[in-house]
A and B are shown apart, each in its own frame.
Chain A
Amino acid sequence: MEVVLYAILVGLVMCIGLMVAVIMLLQKLSRVHKKAKPTVGLSREQQAKLREEATQQYEAMMVRELQRFEKSMQKFSDELLAKMQTHIGNPDVELEKTMSGLMATTTDGYSTALEQSVGALKARLSSVDALLTSHAQGADGQIQALVEDRKARALARADAELASIFSDYMAQVATGLDYGDQQAYILQQLEAIKPQLVEDIRRVG
């Protein structure tokens, strides 16, 4: 890409140089024509002679200017090509070497670091697995104990609060409760378990 840009630049410079040379030649030609003005009023032979001299001078000047321009452009072109070789050709090789080395180093380092990271990650996962396994072995018992403890606490709390809850409930909903009904219920339940009670008392006695 840079080579193409340099070539375009060289072509552009040469075109500009050519245009500058043409402009300079036209200016010199104009000066030659100004020098010839005092010849107005000369004879045809004198005018033809002057025109012939001017034409020769113009052609000689054109040759000189073109030779000078050609040398200048050749020099510029050589310097430009030398610079291109210096700054584009050779550095490419070095750069390629440098980049290759850098890429190799980076790739190797990246691979090594990646392998180390994967190894560390695997070790970490193994330790986590071991930790989870050990926790899982003791977790069943702990969870069971926790559940039992919470059940016991819930029942104890229910026992403690049930009386007041029921009293409030009765006060609000069952205001017409007849305790005579409860006595009948108790006697009925005693009657239901009477055989067991008789047997228990007989054994105790």
Chain B
Amino acid sequence: MSASITALPVSLVGLTQLEEVRVALERSIDGKSQYLESLDQRTQAWLHECLQVSSGEQLIADLEEFAQAAPVIELELASTPSDEWRETLVTWLRTHISPTVLVRLHVRRNLLAGFRLRTGKHEYDLSLASRLRATAKVAGVADGN
């Protein structure tokens, strides 16, 4: 893990946003600073903090290294989360699981409610759909009985 990246802002959720930051940083070095301005303000603030301790080239290299090594959690929700709800989830995961975890969010409406989470080692299906299937299986509906 890079020394310049010890914590991620909640606005940087996953690899996609991390890649956007890296591209914006590369172009800003080339004199196109308008790309940095297109980023979220909290992301810009975090970049400024990082650039206080590291050069732009070093930060880019650190971001590439970080993107390859950071733990990733895939989280599936039944509906598109609001910005507030997404930040609540990301904050909880980085507070309780890992401060550098990247979150890949998906919307799966057939989950109905709850969530399904994959860590790369295991899958945790705590959706309403899985509960209904389990109930149906116990009742013999899914088996066609």
Of B114, B119, B122, the most chain A CB neighbours within 10 A belong to B119
Q: Which of B11-19, B33-41, B45-53, B127-135 is the contact stretch?
A: B127-135
Q: Which residues of A contact B89 (CB under 8 A)?
A: 186
B23 located at the interface, meaning its Cβ lies under 8 Å from any Cβ of chain A in the complex: no
Instruction: Tell me, yes or no, whether A141 is within 8 Å of chain B by CB.
Output: no
Chain B neighbourhood of A151, CB < 8 A: 142-144
CB distance from B128 to the nearest CB of A (A): 7
Which of A37-45, A80-88, A188-196 has 4 or more CB atoms under 8 Å from chain B?
Answer: A188-196
CA distance A117 to B77 in the complex (A): 73
Contact present for B144 and A154 (CB under 8 Å): yes
Contact B121 A193 (CB under 8 A): no
Partner of B73, one of A163, A166, A201, A203: A201
B120 at the binding interface (Cβ < 8 Å)? yes
Q: Can you list, as one digit per residue, whether each of B69-96 has a CB less than 8 Å from chain A (1) or not (0)?
A: 1010100010100000100110011001
Task: Give the B interface residue count (CB, 8 A).
Answer: 35
User: Are A183 and B97 within 8 A (Cβ)?
Assistant: no
Whether B142 contacts A160 by the Cβ 8 Å rule is: no
Contacts A183-B88, A194-B96, A194-B97: A166 and B143 contacting too (C-beta < 8 A)? no
> How distant is A68 from chain B, measured CB to nearest CB, in Å?
107
Q: Are B124 and A193 in contact (CB-based, < 8 A)?
A: yes
A5→B126 CA distance, assembly (Å): 106
* Docked pose: A150 CA to B79 CA in angstroms: 29
Q: A186 to B120, alpha carbons, bound, how many Å?
A: 20
CA distance A151 to B144 in the complex (A): 7
Residues in B whose Cβ lies below 8 Å from that of A194? 96-97
Decide: A204 near B126, CB < 8 A? Known: A151-B142, A154-B144.
Answer: no
Interface string of A169-205 (1 = CB under 8 A from B): 0000000000100110111011101101110110111
B27 part of interface (Cβ distance < 8 Å): no
- Interface of A, secondary structure class, is helix
Please state if B121 and A204 are interface contacts (CB–CB under 8 Å): yes
Contact of A163 among B92, B96, B112 (CB under 8 A): B112
Interface positions of B from 100 to 135, Cβ below 8 Å from A:
101, 109-110, 112-115, 117, 119-122, 124, 126, 128-129, 132-133
B58 at the interface (CB under 8 A from A): no
Docked-complex contact A187 and B92, CB < 8 angstroms: yes
CA A12 – CA B126 in complex, angstroms? 115
Q: A154-B142, A189-B114 in contact; A162/B88 too (CB < 8 A)?
A: no
Q: Does B110 lie within 8 Å of A159, measured CB to CB?
A: yes
Q: Is A24's CB within 8 Å of the partner chain B?
A: no
Give the residue name and chain of the B residue nearest to A186 (CB).
B115
A49 to chain B, nearest CB (A): 132
Chain B residues contacting A50 (CB-CB under 8 Å) are: none
A residues adjacent to B (C-beta < 8 A)? 147, 150-151, 154-155, 158-160, 162-163, 166, 179, 182-183, 185-187, 189-191, 193-194, 196-198, 200-201, 203-205
Would you list the 5 A-B pairs with minimal beta carbon distance, nearest first? Answer: A200-B119, A200-B121, A189-B126, A163-B109, A201-B71
Known: A154-B142, A185-B114. 6 other contacts (CB 8 A): A158-B142, A162-B132, A185-B113, A189-B114, A197-B96, A205-B71
